[in-house]
Structure 1
């Protein structure tokens, strides 16, 4: 009579192969998710920088309060909730996106990203 089914060894080998594949794929997935959330933070920074420049054209100084830029809150939290953005202003401005929650641990090199009125962006590796 022919045996139908899998032996315990065959199942263990399949589980080991799946474990190896998962251990290789998971870090790449986390990095991909972090870069996606960072893109939303960068988009928010660019929005604040553009609003600051428009405010400067209208008032000859940069806004010291984000609500003066037409944003609902100070600091402004981006759509996905992984970054809050604050900006200081007057004669010049610095807009800083600070990672919140899980994003701070997923993307430790980019927990604080900033742009200035001169267009200086730091840290550079976070803008790529």
Structure 2
């Protein structure tokens, strides 16, 4: 009976910690996808001295697919990349991640700011 109680206590501590780890890993997947897409945009800017609205972005989702789509919005000489998680199985408040051409990222809590 004591062994069962010890296992129950350990499980009550381990399961929430594991869930938090998984949620942070999923957010990291979205961050990786956005940074890869941003590097593709910067590579195109180096070649053509402009951010093209199409034809440059090869990364359309995060590497593991947690963030289903990465959307590009070009506004003159700047861009904004936005990734959304359709499953919502990520850390609260991090369902939508974004990065802009000037290096601004958000939401700040999701990027460790």
State the TM-score, normalized to the length of structure 1.
0.75
CA contact (8 A) 2:82 2:97 kept: yes
Give 5+ residue unaligned stretches, structure 2: none
Structure 1 distance, partners of 2:86, 2:92, is 11
Larger Rg: 1
1:71 is aligned to 58
Pick closer, same or farther for the CA change 1:69–1:124 going to 2, 3 Å.
Answer: same
Count how many residue pairs are aligned between Structure 1 and Structure 2. Answer: 110
Q: How far off is 1:70 after superposition? A: 5.1
Q: Spell out structure 1 runs of 4+ moving beyond 3 A.
A: none
TM-score, normalising length: structure 2 = 0.84
- SS of residue in 2 equivalent to 1:109: coil
For residues 37 and 106 of structure 1, do their structure 2 counterparts lie closer, same or farther at Cα, with a shift above 3 Å needed? closer
Corresponding position of 2:37: 48
Note the aligned Cα RMSD (angstroms): 1.8
Question: Aligned partners of 1:50 and 1:106: how far apart in 2?
Answer: 24
- For 1:93, the equivalent position in structure 2 comes to 79
1:115 to 2:104 alignment: no
Structure 1 unaligned blocks of 5 or more: 1-9
Larger helix proportion of the pair: 1
Out of 68, 73, 89, the position equivalent to 1:105 is: 89
Q: What is the deviation of 1:18? A: 1.6
